[in-house]
Amino acid sequence: MTPLLEINRLSKCYPGRVNALVDVSFSLAEGECLGLVGESGSGKSTLAKLILRLETPDQGEILLDGAPLHALRGRALKNARKHVQVIFQDPTASLNPRLPIWKTVIEPLENYPDVSPSFLSGIRHAKRQMAAVLLDKVGLGPDVLDRVPAQLSGGQRQRVAIARSLSLQPKLLVCDEPTSSLDVSVQAQILNLLKGLKNDFNMSYLFISHDIAAVHFMSDRIAVLKKGRLVDVFASGQLFETRRHPYTRQFTNCQPM
Partner 1 sequence: MKPVTAEGKMSMFPNPVQKWVRKPLLLIGTGMLISVLLISLVGPFLVPNDPLAVNMSERLQPPSEKYPLGTDHMGRCLFSRLAVGAQTTLGITALVIFSVIVIGIPVGLISGYAGGRLDAVLMRIVDGLIAFPEFVLAIAVAGFLGPSLINLMLSIVLVKWVRYARVVRGIVLSEREKEYVLAARVGGCSSWKILYRHLLPQILSPVLVLAALDVGTVILIISSLSYLGLGIQPPNPEWGAMLNDGRSYFQTFPELMFYPGSAILWVVLACNLIGDGLRDAIHETDPTF
- Report the interface residues with partner 1, using CB under 8 A: 49, 52, 54, 78, 81-82, 84-86, 88-90, 93-99, 107-108, 111-112, 143, 147, 150-153, 155-156, 161, 164, 168, 186, 189
Nearer to partner 1 by C-beta: 156 or 209? 156
The distance of closest approach from Cβ of residue 105 to partner 1 in the complex, given in angstroms and rounded to an integer, is: 10
Nearer to partner 1 by C-beta: 58 or 90? 90
Nearer to partner 1 by C-beta: 77 or 235? 77
The distance of closest approach from Cβ of residue 190 to partner 1 in the complex, given in angstroms and rounded to an integer, is: 10
The distance of closest approach from Cβ of residue 88 to partner 1 in the complex, given in angstroms and rounded to an integer, is: 4
The distance of closest approach from Cβ of residue 254 to partner 1 in the complex, given in angstroms and rounded to an integer, is: 29
CA-to-CA distance for 190 and 155, rounded, in angstroms?
A: 8
The distance of closest approach from Cβ of residue 45 to partner 1 in the complex, given in angstroms and rounded to an integer, is: 11
CA-to-CA distance for 30 and 12, rounded, in angstroms?
A: 26
CA atoms within 13 A on the CB side of 168: 24
The answer to whether 199 touches 31, Cβ cutoff 8 Å, is no
Could you tell me the strand order of the sheet in which 84-87 lies? 84-87, 172-176, 204-209, 33-37, 221-226, 229-235
Distances from the Cα of 69 to the Cαs of 19, 58, 82, 230, 256, in angstroms? 22, 14, 12, 21, 38
Nearer to partner 1 by C-beta: 30 or 107? 107
Distances from the Cα of 237 to the Cαs of 34, 210, 242, 254, in angstroms? 13, 18, 12, 18
Nearer to partner 1 by C-beta: 47 or 239? 47
Q: In terms of Cα–Cα distance, which of 214, 238, 212, 213 is closest to 225?
A: 212
